[in-house]
Amino acid sequence: MAHGLVIRDAHFPGRAPIDAYGNGGFRFADMSHRGSILCLPSGIHGWQPADPAALTIDDFAPLLAESDAVEILLVGMGRDLRPLPAELRKRLREAGIAADPMSTGAAVRTFNVLLAEERAVAAALIAVD
């Protein structure tokens, strides 16, 4: 049996509204997470991207694995709205997902509304200070 510190990927196994954002992280389900998050049907996952200008298709692999349960993807691009890279937008569209980039604050608010309406929504949220 191994002893010592075990590092696990951050994952909340359920759907939950985002209660707060800022200071480099998010609060949801009486928990907090420092860094970006990916809100999927399988739960809320820690997400590596911190620079909206450097997003790649690989960053969205967990989302694409659940694409059959997602119709709308809200992408919180930080403080400002930035377009998604054309190749990424094309790949998401091929998977049947409508991607909508916006500021992280707008994405959080929209995600909460669509989640309350029980829509097939996911969110990729880049943390802001």
113 vs 4, residue with greater confidence: 113
3-state SS of the chain is CCCCCCCCCCEECCCCCEEEEECCEEEECCEEEECEEEEECCEEEEECCCCHHHCCHHHHHHHHHCHHHCCEEEEECCCCCCCCCHHHHHHHHHCCCEEEEECHHHHHHHHHHHHHCCCCEEEEECCCC
Does pLDDT of 36 surpass 90? Answer: yes
11-125 CATH fold: Hypothetical Protein Mth938; Chain: A, (3.40.1230)
pLDDT digits (tens, 9 = 90+) for 76-97: 999 988 999 999 999 999 999 9
In the chain, domain spans: 11-125
Q: Which pLDDT does position 97 carry in this prediction? A: 98
